[in-house]
Chains A and B, each alone.
Chain A
Amino acid sequence: MPPLILTEGLVKEYKSTIGKGNVRVIDNLNLKIEEGEVFAFIGPNGAGKTTTIKLLLNFIFPTEGKILLFGKPSNDISTRKEIGFLPESSYYYRYLNPVELLDMYGRIFRIGKRERLKKIEELLSMVGLEDFRHMPLRNFSKGMLQRLGLAQALINDPALLILDEPTSGLDPIVRREIRDILRRLNQDGKTIFFSSHELSEVEMISHRVGILNRGRLIRVDRLNELVSGGMAKESLEDIFIRLIKEDVDKDV
């Protein structure tokens, strides 16, 4: 089985708005995500986490380097059949209700009507939105949209979940609900690649962690090795801040 995500020498540059030259936002990124793991992609604001996810899903195009999903180029549309994606701050069609939205996405995967309706009910129940199935999405709160976002990402029962800040801006109750769902999904065999700012969350659910700073992957390690291998009693937050500072100091 090839790695579910593989990037080699990935570079993304944008034209500078000031003067000549390019700004490098992703710099020689090498990632390898194996089946069954929960990989957390962490970094300060502007580190390039969302850019990396956009590159993986071919929303933007790399300047250099290679991206393979399930061993195939990322622009191969067939890879999408096995992927579920939750964007940062989920937004969906305001005039639809959850059933209509999930039904539309289910049809894309050619799921038969009976199975689709069953799946929709299961997913709405899983994310706790079964009582809001006919409410227009424009009336949904951020937390409800995020839970619906998770449901739509699971409509095709994907092998790989790519989640961009799945718990960002949510209250502790919804955060815990989403965390529990992610744990269960991983126990069911799903591979999860997610970006996050919530380091306590990362500590609770991830197997491996990649720390990104200014487009560079400065450390990738198993969570337990990262935490126990550092200074005594250092939390992930302490390690994160220390590594980022060291990376900045190195450049200075």
Chain B
Amino acid sequence: MYNILIVAGNTFREAVRRKILHALLILTLIIIAATSMFSFFELGVQVKFLKDMSLAVISLFGMLITIVVAVNQIPREIEWRTIYPLLAKPVKRGEFLLGKFLGCIWVIFLNVGLMSLEFMVILYSKENLLDIGILQAIFLIFIELILFLSIIIFFSTVTSVPANSCISLFVYILGHMKSAYLNYLISRSEGIKKFIAKSFYYLLPNLENFNIKEAIIHNATVSVPYILKAISYCAVYTTIFLILALFFFGKKEL
């Protein structure tokens, strides 16, 4: 565990010093701040708009930051040969991979945390209250990003960086359209097309399980069992992707 923490700490330190991450974070903070400045709605509508936009921005930029942070983690270590001195020391490959995963989680947590903090401060200045539903929505976005991260880490052990970026983005988009689009495809297609659509349906995680924006915008909250179910769903998929990543990385020739 100690080695995992060392690798995670280094991953975090390196990531937070990268300029591209600073740029993405600053851009997100500007967009969230700009959202609060729309004053052509009446106050109630403006707050709904603020919640809708801000949660969408946190989700979208959270996804982009996850890709930027994670997609290159393992390939860059191999390409720049920084992995060699590390694995020549008493560090197992599994510890290295899990350290990378944990370090990325810390970076995502920091970024989502800062974006959320700004959003909450703005919301508090408008509504004068802190909505528990907002915290639930942000927490589920964070959980979703952990699952998404495990997918990226897995693909980074078996594909190139450009392929991983495309596949991960594809998985993210399809994961959000799964219930609507794939159900439609399954009902309309036959033969091999139906088989492929069904395979995607059962293999891909349904990322819409983590999306409770609609409910929150309308001042509703979700139940604790729902949150627990979402956490379990994330845990199961993340574990599967990490086990696959550990398997392939363990066999990878460096």
Contact = CB atoms under 8 A, between A and B. Distances in A.
Interface of A: 54, 57-61, 77-78, 80-81, 83-87, 89-93, 95-96, 100, 104-105, 107-110, 149, 152-153, 156, 162
The CB with the most chain A CB atoms within 10 A, among B14, B84, B89, B90, is that of B89
Contact of A91 (B3, B9, B82): B82
Nearest to A149: B85
B85 A89 contact: no
Nearest to B93: A58
B40 interface: no
A59 B85 contact: no
A87 B85 contact: yes
A59 B18 CA distance: 28
A80 B80 contact: no
B30 interface: no
B42 interface: no
A156 B84 contact: no
24 contacts: A54-B254, A57-B84, A57-B88, A58-B87, A59-B87, A59-B253, A60-B253, A61-B253, A77-B91, A77-B92, A80-B89, A80-B90, A83-B88, A85-B84, A85-B88, A90-B81, A91-B82, A92-B82, A95-B14, A95-B17, A104-B6, A107-B6, A109-B90, A162-B88
Given A95-B17, A104-B10, A87 B81 contact: yes
Contacts of A156: 89
A100 B9 CA distance: 11
A59 B90 contact: no
B193 interface: no
B183 to A, nearest CB: 42
Given A91-B80, A91-B82, A57 B13 contact: no
